Structure 1
């Protein structure tokens, strides 16, 4: 098979491990910390997870390995959307497994969690693994979004594990996937199957993080990829000088990606959903905020600009969030089928009108019909509105155009407003991982096997101190239950991992807030360029500006 020169070079790249994991398997011991509790709803979470709740966090240190010497047969699953570095998690897991005992086995279940339920797998070998090292994508075994959440599914999974003598399952995924890992771990413990379950934190959205998980893998590569594209558009905008570019980026539940891209590229506008919610901004107020920048720049002769919009922005607008919440309840359960069976939009509109409050219907009515219909497209697995399908970049450009028309009629605005729209999502999900993600992911996989070898169950592989060189990274694990809380899903209360939102009192947002007024009027664009893999560490191994600022470092 013919491959590109870069692909060949990346195959040969040797990922860097935390110093502790470089000592050799025989010289790694465990240091236990204090017992943990869930981030919220402690009594309920403890009741639901009696066998895995309250366990201590652990750190790996130099010392004699006291783990049991036994053959390990491990299954691995890639779950959810793709994120750069997934292949290296599998590679690190495989290498640690084989370094401990060459007779250990790694089974890759195909197509996500459904591969485990259907007993569809491949046994990993050196030859097979080597085709995927340091590359993007999840094509090593594929991924899927099947939920592992019912007793019937857990029973099937346990039987498949028993059939193959599997001692542990590693689930590589985001917050929903690791919620599934947590519930599966509880089932395996409650039923004394002897099967351990370990999670690895993946999501380019960046919302699987806390005081322990400094960032999820894939965020670094994806934001660098999007920032390169945004920088290219900024250069084009500054060259053509005739378009405002409204760019939607990934981030359904949090604005981490948008904020990082703004720090990388310094656009004129970047909406932060968490701030919109905090200030209780309406759609009209947001449109005015953007129109102010357009008007001021036009007064300087600059009829062009760039606005970054997180894909989930509308959920943070209080009036819109209430509307979505009411729609989710309106279509809960069998109501979705009843709604979809209606033959015309007019009849569906009346169904909606009868089910919404007067206040929410007033918001619904001001939306363009195309946006109205997008709110009733296919639901997500939880039965909720798929916010990513709402073309918010087009919604806000249309609202801004209306505001500018009013200002032009009033004589306060005399510029031109040409618009281009973009959505950057898939472009970043399978990019060649940056050196940071290649190293981080390999470490997460390697570390996951150490958790398995020491008998931990229901833990998330954790590597921290990530703003420092890899030699100084700290490896360990934390109980997944520590991140859990209760949330309303598809009309029911369910235990899930709490999403990490952008902190308005955090250093990254404060830096952005201190500069955005200047960026809104001046052309202060930065052009980060493509990800670099070879060259000085100051260029190739830099982390995100978000992580640097969170750790008190200058950018």
Structure 2
């Protein structure tokens, strides 16, 4: 049983329940001065600085006199004892200014896995006398957070570890963690670019293949399809190949055969676009900015309450912000066993697009019409005020059981065809 294996690997954490935070506006500062560290781990995602700002504000409001450290360049900063003290003056330039990236303290893809690396992490937390550490990252980074929490607890160290769900891929989620931050912003950035290319395809009669898949989870592909209505959407890309270029080559090969047979006399000009890095550091949407701030603030509450081995979670997201719920979900509850590099490894399971899930079913109900008719939508740039500025992603709304609007009055609606996993734009005749 996988559960038994996870219980053996995490004896100090396994079985602990999820927790909810009960609001108490009248509560004064705890009077406890904390020493908290934060680390950005993995690829960038819009909103990371908002998480840090939320955590900092919690310490300022509820644990006055606390010390806040930021480890530089990801987990390597923990192992190499490279950090900076985060104070109001240091954080201020990143508030609502250049919040899109991770440049406040920078990120890295190092992992704390070997006994020597765990020893280095222990030495750093002891030197700084840390009460808590917040790991902002994706599934692998939060797996690392769980391992750190277990290691610290087994050594009777006082440092507690809390994770925050970060990834534009949208594949770190469960019932208690409805979405990862950055997904909303990235999808809206990609959808704007896809919409722009759609207009170009319509105007010039070109075909476009747009690859917007990362790591194979395809949530970005599905969400962008729901936002832009491409002709063809392919869910389930392979990370080792460039599918948009492969498809162009396949089309060219087929058309050449038809030319030789005399059944085709036209000209094919395939254009490919890969949308990846463009969405990682954009200015976060209103949703991501608020969601991230709540995640950071919630992480502070969990640490100050003595919790460890949890991931900060914010729920009831379809309701007004004032009605959102905050809590913590056990990281061990997200664990699974995967085969990597020929070995079985305990990791947080990636969430994949479910063919029986509401988002895919919605897409499946529309794809035939999109394939045969031009139903393109060009969403335009992200809005920060006015109608639509607080709109949630189609994927999140459908998974929460809420029907998203089919379109907003100001959205320009066009006709076009697209593929997704990469998106293909197929121009139709002006008639």
Distance 1:187 1:72, change over 3 A: same
Match in the other structure for 2:313: 462
Match in the other structure for 2:400: 551
- Partner-residue secondary structure (3-state), 1:56: coil
Answer yes or no: is the 8 Å Cα contact 1:149–1:184 preserved in 2. Answer: no
2:196 is the alignment partner of 1:225: no
- Partner-residue secondary structure (3-state), 2:135: strand
Partners in 1 of 2:156 and 2:27 — Cα distance? 25
Any stretches of 5+ residues in structure 1 without a counterpart? 1-39, 274-312, 315-386
- Partner-residue secondary structure (3-state), 1:177: helix
2:247 is the alignment partner of 1:269: no
Query: How far off its partner does 1:102 sit?
Result: 2.2
2:171 is the alignment partner of 1:207: yes
| 1:65-80 alignment, distance < 5 Å | 69-80=31-42
Query: How far off its partner does 1:407 sit?
Result: 5.1
Answer yes or no: is the 8 Å Cα contact 2:149–2:309 preserved in 1. Answer: yes
Answer yes or no: is the 8 Å Cα contact 2:28–2:62 preserved in 1. Answer: no
2:95 is the alignment partner of 1:244: no
Partners in 2 of 1:131 and 1:456 — Cα distance? 31
2:355 is the alignment partner of 1:509: no
Answer yes or no: is the 8 Å Cα contact 2:214–2:276 preserved in 1. Answer: no
| 1:173-212 alignment, distance < 5 Å | 173-212=137-176
Query: How far off its partner does 1:66 sit?
Result: 11
Match in the other structure for 1:123: 85
- Partner-residue secondary structure (3-state), 2:378: coil
2:100 is the alignment partner of 1:136: yes
TM-score (norm 1): 0.70
Match in the other structure for 1:113: 75
TM-score (norm 2): 0.89
Distance 1:68 1:487, change over 3 A: farther
- Partner-residue secondary structure (3-state), 1:539: coil
| 1:365-444 alignment, distance < 5 Å | 387=239, 390-406=241-257, 416-444=267-295
Answer yes or no: is the 8 Å Cα contact 2:186–2:282 preserved in 1. Answer: yes
Deviations 1:105-138 (A, max 9, x none): 1100000000011111110111111111231000
Task: Please identify the structure whose Cα radius of gyration is greater.
Answer: 1
Partners in 2 of 1:188 and 1:66 — Cα distance? 30
Match in the other structure for 1:521: 372
Deviations 1:300-330 (A, max 9, x none): xxxxxxxxxxxxx12xxxxxxxxxxxxxxxx
- Partner-residue secondary structure (3-state), 1:155: helix
Match in the other structure for 1:492: 343
Answer yes or no: is the 8 Å Cα contact 1:67–1:453 preserved in 2. Answer: no
Query: How far off its partner does 1:65 sit?
Result: 6.5
Match in the other structure for 1:60: 21
Question: What is the total number of aligned residue pairs between the two structures?
Answer: 401
Answer yes or no: is the 8 Å Cα contact 2:33–2:64 preserved in 1. Answer: no
2:325 is the alignment partner of 1:474: yes
- Partner-residue secondary structure (3-state), 2:89: helix
Partners in 2 of 1:218 and 1:207 — Cα distance? 11
More helix by share: 1
Alignment equivalent of 1:103, drawn from 40, 57, 65: 65
Answer yes or no: is the 8 Å Cα contact 1:119–1:160 preserved in 2. Answer: yes
Partners in 1 of 2:87 and 2:23 — Cα distance? 29
2:8 is the alignment partner of 1:47: yes
Deviations 1:161-208 (A, max 9, x none): 111111111000000100100101100000001110000000000000
Query: How far off its partner does 1:81 sit?
Result: 0.3
Answer yes or no: is the 8 Å Cα contact 1:68–1:454 preserved in 2. Answer: no
Query: How far off its partner does 1:520 sit?
Result: 1.4
Query: How far off its partner does 1:93 sit?
Result: 0.4
- Partner-residue secondary structure (3-state), 1:116: helix
2:394 is the alignment partner of 1:542: no
Any stretches of 5+ residues in structure 2 without a counterpart? 406-431
Query: How far off its partner does 1:401 sit?
Result: 2.6
- Partner-residue secondary structure (3-state), 1:247: strand
Alignment equivalent of 1:94, drawn from 43, 48, 56: 56
Distance 1:192 1:520, change over 3 A: same
Query: How far off its partner does 1:411 sit?
Result: 6.8
